[in-house]
Chain A
Amino acid sequence: MTTQLIRLGLACVLATSLLAQESLQSPPSGVVATALDLYAAGSVDTALATRPFDLHTAASAIGELDRWVGPTVEASAPAAAMAQWQRRAQVAARFAVDVTAQREITREVFAMPLGDPTREGPGSVLFHFQVPDIPPFDHERFSAPIVAWACAHMPADGPVAPWEEPWWMASIGLLQDAGEWRMLAGDPRESRQGDPTRAWERAVYAQVKVGHLAEAVARLGDRPRLRLATVVTRSASLIDLSQRFTVGGGSPVGGLFARPDVLRVLEDFARTVNSGRFAEFERALEALLNEPTLEAEVALRLAQLRVMRRDWPATTRWLDRAEAATTDDINRATVDYFRGWVFERAGREDDALRLYESAYTRFPQSPNLNTLLAAQLMRVGRRSEAAKVIEAFMLQPFDFGRRDLWRILVAGEGRYVRGYARRMREAQ
């Protein structure tokens, strides 16, 4: 069934809530528990290879996790029982984030089940796309409840274990990638507690009230990357109009970052934003520029805030600084992508073409960049190359790896999630 999916594009197609998703699937029982046993025994690769969440909704996966951890132990319980419960809870928290991190992360494209495709028959291939090996839910609706549940099972006091820091960063990355700005930033006004019969819903509301970033800071202390994650979250929540899923449905028209024509849309959008907010975020970012490990990313984000407002001189200055501070291919590609856009907007189309080509060489799977580049190639009559650049992604059956460079930047820690997960495993 999972191979008969229609590709419609963006996550915003589905206004269905997680509740609606629950009714779509009948997950297998025992897969998560078996994988958890393997994971707890140190057979991590074997456990992950079973892809234990693939046929689960977040709700059903959390049900399985809860069953494996067992009932909460009362504070008055013997110390050994408490230690045993805590050990299992922490294994499950690591497992939940690790498994979610191994899933391909996407926002731009996702697969949507067609109700009951088995009834469509083989003659309906015209709008059924064979999408092998794609799980039946979209990633972004999965991360929030999983992270919220796992966070509730993390150590709250005592010495910080080496695996905790990468766990927190991975979980932040998952939420940033999913656009869960409200859960990250926290909203003290959140008064809902969720349906008592739904563990995932209670966990989500509790996390929204406190804020995942605040929890991370409380546990790990003030760290530059957490400060950066906080600024990224605050600025993204300003300009991401989608009010994405936390509990209940998302916006049917999608958010700013769900739009494929992101640079054009952002220019329009920036005109509606109070310039004081931009200045506030710029000040917060500039305070992080002296952190050597963050300089390139921070400069890129400052360029990002300027490119939206068509402030080409300032954009260029920040891009120069970002370029000088990084050798990372994605950062360098983003620099050239933005520079190309600046030139295109300034009417210097040949320069735009040159820079898009440079960016494409470093990162050939970005629909936005590929489209802009291909249009430029067509303009100068290099049609075979244009066809190659366009068809490289448009004719591919399904590729979760393709992402817009802007989106990667907005997703903050999202691009590092798998690295954090690996570090977490190594530190266990």
Chain B
Amino acid sequence: MTMPRCGLVVIFSLAAAVLVGAQQAPVFRASVDIVAVDAVVMRGRTPVTGLGPADFLVTDNGVPQNVDSVSQGTMPLDITIVLDFSNSIRDDFADFVQSASGMQQLLRPEDRWRWVGIFMEARELLPMRPATDPLPPIRRPDAVPATALADTLFLALVRPGEPARRHLVIVFTDGDDSWSILDSKRLPTIADRADAVLYAVMTGTPPAPQQAERGFAEQRARRWRDSQNALFDAVRASQGSVQRLSNRAQAFARIIEEFRSAYVLRYTPVGVDTPGWHTLSVTAAEPRGLTLRARRGYERR
């Protein structure tokens, strides 16, 4: 089965300029774009290694492309940790922070991370910085009575990735959103268009419909289910995954391992010069027994 999944798409633009004459010089530019798309290939729960360019089939806006090169696990990571500060997860907060902080040991000197908080609005707590820098202690305020989950994920996902770096967003949340401007139904589309891959480490579940009381409790349960489903759809659209492990340190380790195992495929696009959104298809040449997840498109400027 071929499933679209993980992948940062980066376009490298190599421009050559030729000056003819010193005065009133006409400038000729030759530009070659290289598209890089990452893809996770799994056999069951195990990442597959050792694949080469010939093992992948790529189409760009439906036009088959030649994969020039493939690398695995070499690109540095940009990780955005999205931390839910809302009252509803206060009991799990300290454990999550400890587990997320512990992830520092799994990161390399060239990796970077930033921390974003879900409050009643999105807040960037720490801008992108080397992941090996000391992390300040994290506490939560006593009261954060509402949660802008969709807005915060929008902020985390919206920034286009930097060339030669891969962007991973990990959100820790119960999935409840009570205060976003953004309609959470929009999240999957945003995640689909984003460079970053979204992983969710979940805690808590909304009450089942029959368990919720009438009135406000029922409304809240419905809202919670809707926003949580939107989050799951966004995770799928970005080619990430949802982790529900009670051992959150293990969940983080699994995410990093999976994300690092992604291949980066590079190709020089042929026959697809139009700017704007390009639809990608990446499949395995020999798909038997493999699950392949790769980005479904990229923006060409």
Contact = CB atoms under 8 A, between A and B. Distances in A.
A158 interface: no
A265 to B, nearest CB: 10
Contacts of A259: 179
Given A375-B190, A387-B160, A390-B154, A9 B136 contact: no
Interface stretch (A73-81, A120-128, A167-175): A120-128
Interface stretch (B47-55, B63-71, B112-120): B112-120
A114 B277 contact: no
B158 A261 contact: no
Interface stretch (B30-38, B140-148, B249-257, B261-269): B140-148
A127 B115 CA distance: 10
Contacts of A379: 186, 189-190, 193
Given A13-B143, A371-B182, A383-B158, A394 B148 contact: no
A394 B124 contact: yes
B158 A378 contact: yes
Contacts of B292: none
Interface in B112-135: 115, 117, 119-126
Contacts of A125: 125-126, 136
Interface in A365-405: 367-368, 371-372, 374-375, 378-384, 386-387, 390-391, 394-395
Contacts of A109: 121
Nearest to A254: B146
Contact of A8 (B141, B182, B277): B141
B146 A381 contact: no
Nearest to B183: A264
Nearest to A115: B142
B181 A390 contact: no
Contacts of B160: 383-384, 387
Nearest to B179: A260
A259 B177 CA distance: 13
Contact of A126 (B137, B143, B186, B195): B137
A9 B146 contact: yes
Contacts of A264: 183
B276 interface: yes
A7 B180 contact: no
A399 to B, nearest CB: 12
B29 interface: no
Contacts of A8: 119-120, 141, 144
A39 to B, nearest CB: 37
Given A367-B181, A383-B193, A10 B136 contact: no
Given A13-B143, A260-B121, A391 B155 contact: yes
B158 A126 contact: no
Contacts of B244: none
B27 interface: no
B299 A382 contact: yes
A375 B182 contact: yes
Given A9-B121, A9-B179, A126 B141 contact: no
A383 B8 CA distance: 13
A192 B181 CA distance: 39
A31 interface: no
A252 interface: yes
Given A8-B144, A123-B137, A378-B189, A13 B120 contact: yes
Contacts of A126: 115, 117, 125-126, 136-139
Interface in B55-98: 85
Contacts of A387: 158-160
A380 B277 contact: yes
Interface in B242-290: 276-277
Contacts of B146: 9-10, 253
Interface string B99-117: 0000000000000000101
Contacts of A68: none
Given A126-B125, A395-B124, A381 B299 contact: yes
Contacts of B151: 260, 371, 394
A6 interface: yes
A394 B85 CA distance: 17
A249 B155 CA distance: 33
Contacts of A13: 120, 143, 145
A383 B85 CA distance: 27
A386 B158 contact: yes
A371 B158 CA distance: 11
B192 to A, nearest CB: 9
A7 B146 CA distance: 13
B297 interface: yes
B297 to A, nearest CB: 7
A17 to B, nearest CB: 16
Q: Shortest 8 CB-CB distances between A and B: which pairs?
A: A9-B120, A381-B277, A371-B181, A126-B138, A260-B181, A387-B158, A381-B299, A378-B190
7 contacts: A8-B144, A127-B139, A253-B145, A374-B158, A375-B183, A390-B155, A394-B151
Given A13-B145, A386-B158, 5 more contacts: A6-B141, A260-B180, A371-B151, A378-B194, A391-B159
Interface of B: 85, 115, 117, 119-126, 136-141, 143-146, 148, 151, 154-155, 158-160, 179-183, 186, 189-190, 193-195, 276-277, 297, 299, 301
